[in-house]
Amino acid sequence: MKKILVWLSGWVDSAVSAYLLKKQWYDVTAWFMINYLAPEWEYCPTRDDIEEAKKVAKYLDIPFFTFDYREDYAEKVLGYMYEWYKKWITPNPDIMCNSEVKFKVFLDEALAHWFDWIAMWHYARITTSKYSKYSPHHNTLPMGEGIDQLTVATSLPLGETEWGLEFGETEWGQELRGTEGELFHLLKWVDANKDQSYFLAWLNQFQLSKALFPIWEYEKSQVRQIAQEAWLPNANRKDSQWICFVWKVDLTTFLEKKIDPKPGKILDTSWKVLWEHKWVFYYTIGQRKWLDLWGQKEPVFIVKKDIEKNEIIVGTTSDLELYDDKLFVKEFHFLCPLPLKHGIKDNFSLFQRERPEGSTLGVYPQGEGLSAKCKIRYRQADQDCTIYKENDIYRVEFKDKQRAIASGQICAVYIWDELVMSGVIN
């Protein structure tokens, strides 16, 4: 019997994930990850979550453990946040938490304790494909594991790659979950309004091969219905409104713990002084919160930052400085590199899944840009774009101008519904 360690967060999605896995007769153990705990005299939602998770584990009759990752989280996520803010770059702690803590630190610990997989309640799908020189093949992994059937044809014969890796191995020297010639693809969730594939943009093949998303085929309303029909203790608990590190803490107050305030001017686009800010590092392009500007005829947003002068320039949604039709990425991370033909990093010679009839995504003359969809923030609608490689940098050009492109955020690139690569906005 396969052993699965499921992340039981205290919320309904994780409870349903554990319930579905146990229903399929897996050997399920629950874990709760402690990233942050407020002092005893302060209210801390983490303590509430632990109690809810315990209730679910007891109801499902599965072992329950807590893992204290406060030191790892402080080093890998909070440290990264502080350093990037000091460099005037807006970080994305949710993506860092997933790639460096949940799917790395915890995954390593799970494997060390002889678990076969970890199960997460992220709203995304993992699919698998096999290589074939002559014809596509279907995989036969069991359903309900966050695994769907996918067909891929590539130009590489079995047992061969142009990346110097044997099938079933990765550059990390660890064995993948699947069989020889099997690859793992990250796809959007079936419920577009809740899709979280963007937050998983830095995962690699090994991490995908060891992860299960049990609620992959259900919409949010169905997940809630399953919880109610199964009489799960938290079936009617309202969804969490914070992600990863965001507790009931004012972000400015949080940053002041490590970055001393340095007041500066807030100006409008005609260079009129409107107010003072605490420090330019605290703010990002497009931000409206914490400006403390009252009496404005229209809502104002940050359209530009002058780091040398420690000044913020604000404008309305109609200000052109808030919009741009391109961004730059120094390096892309490829989630599934093996089925990409040799040379993709230079000319995007991409050979992906069988193209839906009439689709132009991924289609281009040799040497020209890659036609794709991308997101520059969570829950953003897909944006048409073309990606070009110029010397040592990538240029992403949008069909429509984009609002508030911020350095440090992640540009996630999709071919149809698959997240194929991601990079930090320069």
Question: Locate tokens 């599934």: which residue?
Answer: 336
CB atoms within 10 A of CB 357: 5
CA 210 to chain centre: 16
Choosing from 244, 336, 385, 411, which is the catalytic residue?
244
CB atoms within 10 A of CB 143: 11
Backbone angles phi, psi at 307, to 5 degrees: -65, -45
244 is catalytic: yes
Question: Locate tokens 């109690």: which residue?
Answer: 51
Q: And the tokens for 185?
A: 């693809």
First to last CA, the chain: 47
**In sequence order, which residues have a C-beta less than 8 Å from that of residue 249 and are 6 or more positions away?**
none
**In sequence order, which residues have a C-beta less than 8 Å from that of residue 246 and are 6 or more positions away?**
none
Q: What is the CA radius of gyration of the chain?
A: 23
Choosing from 97, 374, 385, 411, which is the catalytic residue?
97
Distances, alpha carbon 223 to alpha carbons 100, 195, 229, 244, in Å: 28, 14, 10, 21
Instruction: Please name which of 289, 286, 318 lies closest in space to residue 304, comparing C-alpha atoms.
Output: 286
Residues labelled catalytic: 97, 244
